[in-house]
Amino acid sequence: MGALDDIRVVEMGQLLAGPFCGQLLGDMGADVIKIEPPGAGDPMRLWGQGEEKVQWEVIARNKRSVTCNLRIPEGQELARKLIAKADVLVENFKPGTMEKWGLSPESLLAENPGLIIARMSGYGQDGPYSNRAGFGGIGEAMGGWRYIVGDPDRPPARMGISIGDTLCATYGCMGVLAALHHREKTGQGQVVDTALYEAVLQVMEGLVPEYDRNGFIRERSGSILPGIAPSNVYRCKDGHFMIGANKDEIFARLAQAMGQPELASDPRYATHIARGKNQIELDELVNAWTGTLTVDEVEQSMIDHSIPAGRVYRAPDMIADPHFQARQAIIEVETETRGKLKMQNAFPKLSQTPSGVRRPAPSKPGQQNHEVLSELLGYDTQMIDTMADAGVI
């Protein structure tokens, strides 16, 4: 199952960027061998909110866990042998770490010329900052994201998720897919170099050219995009509701829904530019209208007038929503230690080679040591047990 069902991935590294890239590849069918340090394993096993830490169940799905002590020569040699059997290596260590372990791209490609090496780091593999430690939040700050998030009278804010890490992982996955296509034509592997700050920079839209050409610096703007109106979350009698009616003809339909059709021809609101200049006043008008109605009533009006709009969902709202259910956007996975657990499904949807969750996250570090080492390297039980006793795995 999955478009990548003939691809083997060795995933090294911890926490989010590397493992999320591995999750994406695994969801698309790749056989992902997750290398964890002996003992506690990846710290992600202990991440998450609430009493039970279940974030691991998502990011480690479709993976097989092998423990390997990368700090000793025997562990480094074991990793080298596994990588020699792989199509893709994913790693998110600080630049220079793989080289220190004798696992440089040059040496790995010499042994496995078709290998694709996805390297994720804070600042990339070269440049004056490459040796600095980097986390997703730092990439968000330097990539321009943090400065523009939040209310204008408050310090820069953040999203409630690690968006810098997942963006870097997503671009890393994109690079792997492009490199696989190149390998089909040439047989050559290559290095995919992704940096946290550059991944964030990629989604900054016109932020840089706007400054370069106009001297314009984007500032924090709260819940709106300056000049894009009306497009905001509006108050209702019993909650909040998102409406996006900034296109001329859509705004005309919103004016009809509000019982104020004259707004569409009012010079203050008749055009995109005019609405942007009068954004605050226009949002007050929309809020005054939505405030007289319930969320259900506003939603039905938006449907009747074909206006892009939606409820502001939390997890329980997503689980209960019939569209989420019909699309199987959220699925229930039988985990090894926590029973059935709801989580987001694999995405995007492919019609001929659908992605999905084939196996739950491994409950213990090294759970597939015997399975993988015997299958890929031909090791017998005695050899594997000896390695375990020596602390190699």
Catalytic residues, which ones?
165
- Cis amide prior to 95 (ω within 30 degrees): no
Kind plus residue range of the DSSP H or E element containing 119? strand 116-121
Instruction: Give SS3 for 200.
Output: helix
> Alpha carbon 311 to chain centroid distance?
23
Residue with tokens 């040796």: 131
- Cis amide prior to 316 (ω within 30 degrees): no
**Do residues 361 and 61 lie in contact, with contact meaning Cβ atoms separated by under 8 Å?**
yes
What the block records as the tokens of 156 is: 């820069």
Cα–Cα distance, 234 to 290 (Å, whole number): 7
Cα–Cα distance, 123 to 126 (Å, whole number): 8
**CA distances for 384 relative to 64, 260, 381, 393, angstroms:** 16, 76, 5, 8
**CA distances for 107 relative to 84, 104, 111, 117, 182, angstroms:** 11, 5, 7, 12, 21
Q: Which residues contact 160 (CB under 8 A, 6 or more apart)?
A: none
**CA distances for 284 relative to 121, 186, 211, 337, angstroms:** 44, 59, 30, 51
β-strand partners of 34: 11, 65
Q: What is the dihedral sign for C-alpha 162, 163, 168, 174?
A: positive
Q: Which residues contact 347 (CB under 8 A, 6 or more apart)?
A: 27, 329, 355
Cα–Cα distance, 383 to 64 (Å, whole number): 20
**Do residues 296 and 239 lie in contact, with contact meaning Cβ atoms separated by under 8 Å?**
no
Nearest 5°: phi and psi at 108? -70, -40
